[in-house]
Amino acid sequence: MPELPEVETVKETLKKLVVNKQINNVNIYYDKIIEFPTCDDFKKNLIGETIVDIKRRGKWLMFELKNYFLLSHLRMEGKYLFREIGSEVTKHEHISFILDDCELRYKDTRKFGRMYLFKKDEAFNNKPLNELGKEPFDETLDVTYLKTKYAKKRLPIKTVLLDQSIIVGIGNIYDDEVLFLSQINPLTQANMLTNEQLQKIIDNTKSVLTKAINLGGTTIRSYESSEGVHGRFQNELLIHGRSGQCIICGSEIVKIKVGGRGTYYCPSCQK
DNA sequence: CAGGTCTCCTGCTAGC
DNA sequence: TGCTAGCAGGAGACCT
């Protein structure tokens, strides 16, 4: 499931392949991926546009065009792949952007991904971008900010770290890793965390995400090799998805459900 | 406003 | 061996 490091990796990979290419046509095979505007307008506005750059905000990919921002959220299983122009559209490929020399296809098995298209000056003033919290590497992300945001949050920190309106980019995997490194029990109410604990969360979020980005992210479900992105961070996961002994203290790793999410932690290290 | 629950989807798997 | 019920999960909708 793509979280910040995976989206960052996809962004960098795509950038090398699509910048300066023109969108000559767009085919939509599954309408619900397009959240805004209508499919007709989405298609009409994209045709003739050139991809200038690709940026990222939280888990959102932002294709910067001459006049528009195309926002794309991969959710659980969204991915981009390249196909020859006119080649057969295979299962789970829902959108095709026909470029000069290839088709850029959006594939998404569970169809959870979403796209928006905004005029450039409108992208940041509208949902979803205007509801996002701070980037993990934003220098203004500090204990004071979290104290304020968490003041009325009695939900478990595990749940609150997933709240994209506070800090962006953390998903279920890195959430567990951050709390393990910070030695914080995932069930701790967010408003009960000490300044020291909040500082640890900030520091460990940065370090885990940085390390994951450098390794190309985490690949849990295997990708077809032709489809590019293979992360290596899955080999570095300390707690998420693991069973058996905690690598720090040797106690048994426990898996529980927190806010409906599978959560791994060490009851001994994370009191 | 905080927070609980449901919904969207499909592939995989535990269990019979 | 073959079938099916149930699970996984990011984020928004809807309700209390």
pLDDT in tens, A140-153: 999 999 999 999 99
* Integer Cα distance of A111 and A105 in angstroms: 14
Q: Is A271 a catalytic residue?
A: no
Taking only the tens place, the pLDDT of each residue in A225-252 is 335 456 777 778 899 988 889 999 999 9
The pLDDT of residue A223 is above 90 = no
Which of A209, A156, A160, A153 minimizes the C-alpha distance to A181? Answer: A209
Query: A24-79, pLDDT tens digit by residue?
Result: 999 999 999 999 999 999 999 999 999 999 999 999 999 999 999 999 999 988 99
Domains and CATH numbers, chain A: 4-131 (3.20.190.10), 143-265 (1.10.8.50)
- Strand, coil or helix: A255: strand
**Residue A59 known to be catalytic:** yes
Element (H, E) at A54: strand A51-57
Listed as ranges, the nucleotides of chain C within 7 A of a protein C-beta are 8-12
Q: Distance (Å) from CA A36 to C1' B13? A: 36
A108-147 pLDDT, tens per residue?
999 999 999 999 999 999 999 999 999 999 999 999 999 9
**Residue A222, pLDDT score:** 35
